[in-house]
Structure 1
Amino acid sequence: MDKEAAIDTAAAARHARFGALPERIRIEDTTQSVDTGSAARGNSTYNPEGQWQYYSCLALDLGL
């Protein structure tokens, strides 16, 4: 048995055992765009005195 035949046999055995790889997922299919309009919080400006009620973000509090 020559080297190429051994490689083909190993590849066939691997394909029979594990099958094919799944299809690639496009990045467009993994992300979602959501409108974060100001209706949820009343206004869309950042107010560090009142925003603690909704979330806490140290970077925004420090102005980073």
Structure 2
Amino acid sequence: MEGQSMIDSAAAARHARFGKLPERIRYEDMVQEEPVTLHDPARDAYNPEGSWTSFSCFAADLGL
């Protein structure tokens, strides 16, 4: 009978810990909103002088 009481106490401990579902989380608490940055045309403009620095090429590194 000692084994049965041990099983019952373990089952009671498990039920006390895992016997119910966690609290629901509201959608508003899961979403983070940030303001949009303003459009900067200078950032998106094409710069032919600096465009070669935006990629890495082995042939360009060798000067070919």
Q: TM-score, normalised by structure 2?
A: 0.32
Larger RCO: Structure 1 or Structure 2 (Cα < 8 Å, ≥ 6 residues apart)?
Answer: 1
Structure with greater proportional helix content: 2
Larger Rg: 2
Q: TM-score, normalised by structure 1?
A: 0.32
